[in-house]
Structure 1
């Protein structure tokens, strides 16, 4: 991915995400919920069928936009901390780059994932959340399915995909994996 505008459509989706989360109250209750919420975090994602074992970092929302993992850490994916901790009930969202200017990144092989394959998320409390892939979707960034991604239960893995637009310096699509929790 290249260019400063490559994530402009993802940023738009992030802004929509913030609005959806506020509108539907998915963030939780008041401040009294905050300490319990941050005590457990996802630490690593494993996708055995693809050979992916990657550390996770927290991604916040700044100015209504979801922060992204730094390009300097291409092997790291990010958990959107406004989503639920994987293994808990609700929508859990993990983002990762497909590539950098010079090399593949953490979710480069994500487009190879198949329905029924396993995804594991290791948590800081020692639990491992086990998911099964239900479906995959490649969609234009201009038609990002925010409700489906940010309101429905399950794990969502998101990266860029499709054709790279050299004029805009970004991929035109998002590739999204939808998975259901099958055990912890």
Structure 2
């Protein structure tokens, strides 16, 4: 995921992602994730991978999902339009696989296996614990937006597969699906 501004394609074409996020947040009940800024995730721990990383807030800008800055490769980002981990809904966390020179926070994400644990610390002192259900690698052209944004659980997303040197980006995404065990 290193390199150029084209990395904004990490998830999917911006229009699809933006449309799904708008649909998720339309409900008019005032309880959308973005209306609950008092509780936010602050840290992600993946013991099996040795990952302990701070989380920053990411949004959607001009139909594209923001990414953590490349100069902070050990930081992951929580999509603030998604659920707060531990709350009902789909919680989405993004991280880079690498930079131009080094591995980044989700470099080993494709090594995750069903049954492994992911913990997300929250600003209210609670820790949301998840169990990995599955890991998949999918072409960015076939990104499963409905499965990511509309189903309950935690979703960890990074780049993967072969690197396209002409486009300066990875061709695939690696996605971890996990179910809440306890908060």
Give TM-score scaled by structure 2 length: 0.93
Q: Are the equivalent residues in 1 in contact too, given 2:33–2:83 (CA < 8 A)?
A: no
1:154 matched residue in structure 2: 153
- Asked if 1 retains the 8 angstrom alpha-carbon contact of 2:44 and 2:120, the reply is yes
Contact 2:90 2:149 in 1 (8 A): yes
SS in 2 for 1:39: coil
TM-superposed deviation, 1:7: 2.0
1:42-61 mapped onto 2 (5 Å cutoff): 42-61=41-60
Question: In structure 2, the residue corresponding to 1:163 is in which secondary structure?
Answer: strand
Q: Residues 161 and 171 of structure 1 are in contact (CA less than 8 Å); yes or no, is this contact kept in structure 2?
A: yes
Alpha-carbon RMSD across the aligned residues, in angstroms, is 1.9
In structure 1, stretches of 5+ residues that fail to align are none
Show the counterpart of 1:15.
15
User: Alpha-carbon deviation of 1:81?
Assistant: 0.2
Structure 2 counterpart SS, 1:20: helix
Partner of 2:4: 4
Normalised by the size of structure 1, how large is the TM-score?
Answer: 0.92
Is the partner of 1:71 in helix, strand or coil? coil
| Alpha-carbon distance, 1:130 to partner | 0.4
Residue pair 2:34, 2:80 contacting (<8 A) in 1 also? no
Aligned residue for 1:38, secondary structure, equals: coil
